[in-house]
Amino acid sequence: MCNRDLTALHMFLRSLQTFNVQPLPRLHEEHPMSKPRVRRATVAAATVVGLATAVSAGCGSDSDASSEGGVTTLTFAASTFGDPGRGPQLQEWIDEFNASQDEIRVEAASVPYPTFGQTVLTQMGGGEGPDLVRFDMPEFEAASDAGLIAPLDDLIDVDQYELLEQPDRFMVHDDVRHGIIFEASNYAMFYNADLIPEPPTTYEDFFATAQSLTSGDVFGLAFRQTEAEEAGVWQDIFNYVYGFGGAWSDGENLTINAPENLEGLQAYKDLYDANVIPRGADAATFRRMFAEGKVAMELNNGGYATHLRAESPDLNFSAAPIPFPVRSQGAILAPIVINEASEAKEEAATFIEWALQEENQVALQEILGASSVATATERSPESLQEMPFLTTFDELTESSLPQVVLGFEAQTPDIRKIVVQNVIAALQGEVDLQTALDDAQEQATELVG
């Protein structure tokens, strides 16, 4: 790979988030998060594509695809391949594709999660990188805005598949499809069934349960609340904001300091102030405490269920919908995309079409556990016997939302940083919560122009 100027290119990609490009008019729809995203960085995207072309000149192959002996080898990059539980099973799933093909082979490329987005975006911006990528939503949006993802409309006929409507709508930008859902992992309330025979169904019960089970070195609840875990705090507070009827934007304007957001974040702060959580503990620590029976409840996504089953097979836990006033919660959406720079787009599309076949979707969902896949599938009796709560996660799909700011998707990381810094300042008593949200609204509005 050519390294010349790639660091500068990545910084330019990040700078796309500050361009003042006004959105096109939108049609009104019932839920603000259901609106199709209008790309806000068209001019900047065109510029970065030009820069990417200049950087990649003289750098060799446009992608990692190679051909030898009549077989085209594709690279598929996903942080999930490094997961000790799911990674080996995903490799076996890919091996099944390879066994079914004579002219195409897919090789898995594991890039560590903390550096995945930066690494892959930098490679793609230089006209190189993997042919297939499993992105998280912020990186997906940034790559889409920068023109680094191949449109799929002419490569895959999606009409032949029963795609899940709610998560799939976020794969289409300005009537152009850029991705297919690889994994949709909804957030729910995990609870220790030995400590909580019947899960709470209201926020008041949730609060009271957390208080009653906090004693000594056992805590009723845990969530992230330190600036060091900025992305994780954003994921956690997303559930409180949307679970109380709030939203970060109306699709065209930021609404960070809306009354509903204040109500939800006040509920989050009230739990923090009640000392029902292990303050200062990071996610790795309090998840270990949950596995040891020292934390009674936490809000997490479906992928956590598979991790718990693998790491703590004797733990008696279950899951239920988050007991907030509005049934609306976050989801980890992970699209699979084709690199615009790939020289083997049709072969990459063949792999995605294979992945969308019913039997392969079922097999993928079995590997992913409590997550959903691109299409509607039916859980096996064996899976339901092992994890009866799987249907809880499936039923949340239509009310779950990706953890991005609608209308400002590619700018979400910078908006997230502003919001989290101000919310944590309020947690720590440096400022009242209303002022914190007002400050965040002002700072983020200035950022996006």
pLDDT at residue 64 in the model: 67
Q: What is the CATH number of domain 72-184+332-401?
A: 3.40.190.10
Please give the Cα distance from 383 to 305 (Å, whole number): 12
CA-based torsion, 328, 334, 336, 341: positive or negative: positive
Q: Which pLDDT score is estimated for 68?
A: 75
- Helix spans in 179-326 (H): 203-212, 230-243, 259-273, 283-291, 303-311
Domain regions of the chain by residue span: 72-184+332-401, 187-329+405-448
Q: Which residues pair with 337 in a beta bridge?
A: 133
In this prediction the pTM is 0.80
Q: With b meaning 16 or more CB within 10 Å and e meaning fewer, what string describes 272-304?
A: beeebbbeebebeebbebbbeebbbbbbbbbbb
- pLDDT 10s digits, 289-338: 999 999 999 999 998 888 888 889 999 999 999 999 999 999 999 999 99
pLDDT at 339: 98
The partner residues of 102 in beta bridges, in order of sequence, read none
Beta strands in 114-236 (DSSP E): 132-134, 172-173, 176-177, 180-192
Residue 424: its H or E element: helix 412-427
Right CATH for 187-329+405-448 from 3.40.190.10, 3.60.15.10, 3.55.50.30, 3.30.450.40:
3.40.190.10
Unique residue bearing structure tokens 């309020």: 426
Beta bridge partners of 219: 295
At 427, list the tokens: 């947690």
CA atoms within 13 A on the CB side of 133: 35
Q: Do domains 72-184+332-401 and 187-329+405-448 have the same CATH topology?
A: yes
Predicted local confidence at residue 233, as pLDDT:
94
Question: Regarding beta strands 71-77 and 66-68, do their DSSP bridges make them parallel or antiparallel, or are they unpaired?
Answer: antiparallel
Closest to 387 in 3D by CA, of 411, 406, 409, 371? 371
pLDDT at 55: 35
Low-confidence residues of the chain, pLDDT below 50?
Answer: 1-62
- Give the model's pLDDT for residue 63: 60
